[in-house]
Structure 1
């Protein structure tokens, strides 16, 4: 075995919004290999619309920069634990990692999640303390916190002797001096070349490559992406595809591409250590091995964490259906089949209920990104309340637990402790970060559903909340449900100001005058704990008599804005979120009051 000194394969690890993609932008801009027209805008790697809007990385991406005689392959990994399927695959291709940490916030939950995966893969870390030009930066303290985090994650001696550097992705410089305010990014590139080991390779062994990512083209079908583990491969040569349980399929390397700058370039030959894209195996799946046809040797398959959350996806059967282009269960199934080609952390199963599927993922964000993508593509659907996936371990029922971090002003700590405590959360750490209290909890994953909205309301929008999956622990008992009931429309029509004016005294509106409503649609939150059937379309009775003071001005409060994530967290088990390309509505599963009473009687009988 030898090491290639002409290549460095580096993943970038960071918590959401710690500046990972901005730092990569700076590396691209200062590498001198791109025309100005290629680097238009900010966050060049966040090419997905949702990535730009949410400010997070969802899909892992590869680029390559030539620095001197060395080719640096940069793998941009998602920062959120819900996209752990992407993280676990892409780390298979790296030998080193840039651990990017905000100079004020320090290591956060998603940093720890990806770090744990990196240490399992024996990846050499380089710590980058980013945003050192923040006025509240505390780089030395953060450096100590990172060391403590490495110890907490059982890092080995080599990892604890990590190299570090200070940087500002936005200003485009890196320096070994924490007080630096200017410069360029070259010190970081030098550190990568010096400290990240080149890939360890055996060029004389038979060719083998693990497929860690899939791309899809309408012209050539599936494209397998991965890092060549051993040997060499040439365009046009015969090869074998080794699937699960060592099932073999013969084929050939129709096209061979390597990553070059922001895209890919065709090559005739590549060797061990190269990140490549291979065309020619239409049936390839993530975890399969593409190997030498004469002596095919299977590489260990990728193990991706199991889903922790499931939701019912069904067709939209509301009276207002028809806005979207794709409406049927066949359309939904085709879309799920397409998603499963590359989204390895997703599970889709048909249910006994007609036209419905049970979709399971790594968290609410994971599933909401899929729903948002479908809605933008013209799909209409309805989804049910998210439910955690329980496990039976040694005869005891276990549930998924999350590691929750809340940063909140000191004066707002009381409501946070009360809300999290009521949801079976246990405080594990309390610290001070400037004007903010830093609170860390262990909490059941089901306790997080709806927590963000309530935390923001209780702290006047001051709380900052992050969480990631920690593991399974024994079931801790019931968690309080939504305290308020809802107002349900009894008619179909347009909401009118006169009716909403009288209803707003009893709760918080979700609709405004002119909005289309229908029987069974949820139009407001009730101030009391029970549901109330109302008529939001009731107009003022007109008479030929005019009394003094009878025509008062109607002043309506602005309705509460319902986003997709808020809606998914808000609903209860007898409710659905109706999703169309332009609207998000809340509704009851049973649209008629008689149907709801019948369903309630049925559930009580089942309970007995």
Structure 2
């Protein structure tokens, strides 16, 4: 155990930072790093790629989307008002429920938690999600009411709402007596009252060292380290990151490595590191309760235990919620296959999925119907969408099928996942939301005025997970972009009946070639296009949405036949409406059972599984005959 230190080693504090999306936890970590003296302002800018702050959001997708996807940790030094020295390990976690696997495992590394809540929004649905995980780990939260400098801030009401939320989650009296700090991470200050405006964030650091307990563990027992994260370096290979639960770890130590089933391999530590600032420093010894990074162990993976050879004990691994959605990954077999990507074979796709499994504990991969297919299951559409986006940025070509919910069976009965859907919407769009959600087998749980906005209605529903596919896009369209939508898993229930997710059919290209303005102008009254004049298309590609419910085959490459009586110049007068731009996640939500999304480094296309029209008709007749029989 570590206690406050003046002359020897600094005392340890391990703190996880949890919050709803965009409540400012990443900015808060940046500010604590800066004020700890680890980096000057210019160095922070350099680490952030020229963008001030957001040092922890180092992944390109994190910067583009403004969210935290991968958990990270750093260490800062602090000398308290009493003169004691501390080393604080800060662990930044994702706020989105789709990346809950990251939240669950990194909380195993912490002894306390900072719950960051927006001073206007208050606790949101995903605040409940991450807070529930923290309480299950027995962590005492310190409440940080952030963005206190907002003109519409309402800090007292937010603290009351947090208290009510903790009561709903069954927190005990000790947790309900939570400490509160009022902060502006952007402005760089924190105080103990809403009206305080000090020059730094010392009040928050004092609360961390006084309220977060010293690391728990068994320092007198043989070595035991739980591996919670796997990093990778091109120079040294896999780096196992974890927490020392018992004893101490020594550089070059002989250890027993146990997998989740208890199978043992005898290995030797190659290099041992501890955390300092945003980086790692080599260490001769890491004590009980601290975080460490170990190089040179293979095999090693998430949930493995590194133990003393004379007393190999498996550490209690973190329990991860099961996936709720799955989709089929398969080789791209379209006419453009191999033209835009570097990795196009099923072997390459399988190897990449195997690498992902080593670091993503919430992902599941199993064989598909053929040797060229893989069934990939995750925590939600964003979780799988981020994975596919990483694939295409790494030069892969692949096709993915429609997302399907992961069902389970109990007592011979099929159960489907059900989620809590929360929608905050202006009053004038309330009926539109009720209509859309009601068509998808949702049940109203709660309805009332939103505390933080008198003109907003707060709606809560219980809804099947399959009904959420494509719902966010339609809600935003129906509310002119004013709806705030969040959802988290509630559990499993018997199926509630069929749901129609897409009311319109699609327009399917009948010929390969280059789309022409002449052909598309003639088809303008048939619906909305997904392609532009000049785009290359192929037979079976989905080029637009039909205005009616059935699919139609269209020729978008048809050119005007020229004669000596008709001039080509008139073709310039063709008026083609701007196409509907479809993002990767929008395409995944849009496709039907007989359709695929083709993903390459430069393009995202939708297509039919069977490209040829005659073959599709034969397959449709065969399926109808089987159903009749």
TM-score range, shorter chain: over 0.9
- Counterpart of 1:258 in structure 2 is 274
1:131-210 residue pairs with structure 2 within 5 A?
A: 131-181=147-197, 183-210=199-226
How has the CA–CA distance of structure 1 residues 607 and 4 changed in structure 2, closer, same or farther, with 3 Å as cutoff? farther
- Counterpart of 1:214 in structure 2 is 230
Structure 1 SS opposite 2:321: coil
1-structure distance, mates of 2:431, 2:513: 44
1:479 to 499, 508, 511: 499
Structure 1 SS opposite 2:573: coil
2-structure distance, mates of 1:275, 1:4: 17
- Counterpart of 1:53 in structure 2 is 64
Q: Say which is worse superposed, 383-392 or 455-464, in terms of deviation.
A: 455-464
2-structure distance, mates of 1:39, 1:221: 27
2:32 to 6, 27, 31: 27
The yes-or-no answer on 1:416 pairing with 2:436 is no
1:238-387 residue pairs with structure 2 within 5 A?
A: 238-322=254-338, 323-387=340-404
Q: Say which is worse superposed, 502-511 or 536-545, in terms of deviation.
A: 536-545
Structure 1 SS opposite 2:359: coil
The yes-or-no answer on 1:15 pairing with 2:30 is no
Q: After superposition, what is the alpha-carbon deviation per residue over 1:106-154, rounded to whole angstroms, capped at 9, x for unaligned?
A: 1112211111111111011001111112222221111111111111111
Equivalenced residue count is 606
2:423 to 406, 428, 431: 406
2-structure distance, mates of 1:370, 1:249: 31
Structure 2 SS opposite 1:341: helix
The yes-or-no answer on 1:457 pairing with 2:457 is no
Q: Is the 8 A contact 2:260 2:314 kept in 1?
A: no
1:44 is displaced (CA, Å) by 0.4
1:107 to 123, 127, 136: 123
Q: After superposition, what is the alpha-carbon deviation per residue over 1:526-561, rounded to whole angstroms, capped at 9, x for unaligned?
A: 0000000000011122232259x9778222211001
Q: After superposition, what is the alpha-carbon deviation per residue over 1:477-508, rounded to whole angstroms, capped at 9, x for unaligned?
A: 11113100000000000111111112121101
2:617 to 597, 602, 606: 597
- Counterpart of 2:76 in structure 1 is 65
1:280 is displaced (CA, Å) by 2.6
RMSD, aligned α-carbons: 1.6
2-structure distance, mates of 1:460, 1:274: 49
How has the CA–CA distance of structure 1 residues 551 and 91 changed in structure 2, closer, same or farther, with 3 Å as cutoff? closer
1-structure distance, mates of 2:356, 2:209: 37
How has the CA–CA distance of structure 1 residues 380 and 220 changed in structure 2, closer, same or farther, with 3 Å as cutoff? same
Structure 2 SS opposite 1:51: helix
1:89 is displaced (CA, Å) by 0.8
1-structure distance, mates of 2:39, 2:235: 28
2-structure distance, mates of 1:532, 1:49: 39
2-structure distance, mates of 1:51, 1:320: 30
How has the CA–CA distance of structure 1 residues 606 and 59 changed in structure 2, closer, same or farther, with 3 Å as cutoff? farther
The yes-or-no answer on 1:440 pairing with 2:456 is no
Q: After superposition, what is the alpha-carbon deviation per residue over 1:417-462, rounded to whole angstroms, capped at 9, x for unaligned?
A: 1101111112222232323222221111101001011111111222
Q: Is the 8 A contact 1:236 1:255 kept in 2?
A: yes
- Counterpart of 2:55 in structure 1 is 44
1:394 is displaced (CA, Å) by 2.6
1:219 is displaced (CA, Å) by 3.1
- Counterpart of 1:78 in structure 2 is 94
Q: Is the 8 A contact 2:440 2:500 kept in 1?
A: yes
Q: Is the 8 A contact 1:175 1:183 kept in 2?
A: no
Q: Is the 8 A contact 1:229 1:273 kept in 2?
A: yes
Q: Is the 8 A contact 2:324 2:378 kept in 1?
A: yes
1:181 is displaced (CA, Å) by 5.0
1:38 is displaced (CA, Å) by 2.8
Q: Is the 8 A contact 2:142 2:180 kept in 1?
A: yes
1-structure distance, mates of 2:302, 2:201: 35
1-structure distance, mates of 2:404, 2:477: 24
Q: After superposition, what is the alpha-carbon deviation per residue over 1:338-381, rounded to whole angstroms, capped at 9, x for unaligned?
A: 11111111111111224111111111111000000010000001
Gaps of 5+ in 1: none
2-structure distance, mates of 1:97, 1:604: 57
- Counterpart of 1:390 in structure 2 is 407
Q: Could you state the TM-score of these two structures normalised by the residue count of structure 1?
A: 0.97
The yes-or-no answer on 1:92 pairing with 2:94 is no
1:429 to 446, 449, 453: 446
Q: Could you state the TM-score of these two structures normalised by the residue count of structure 2?
A: 0.94
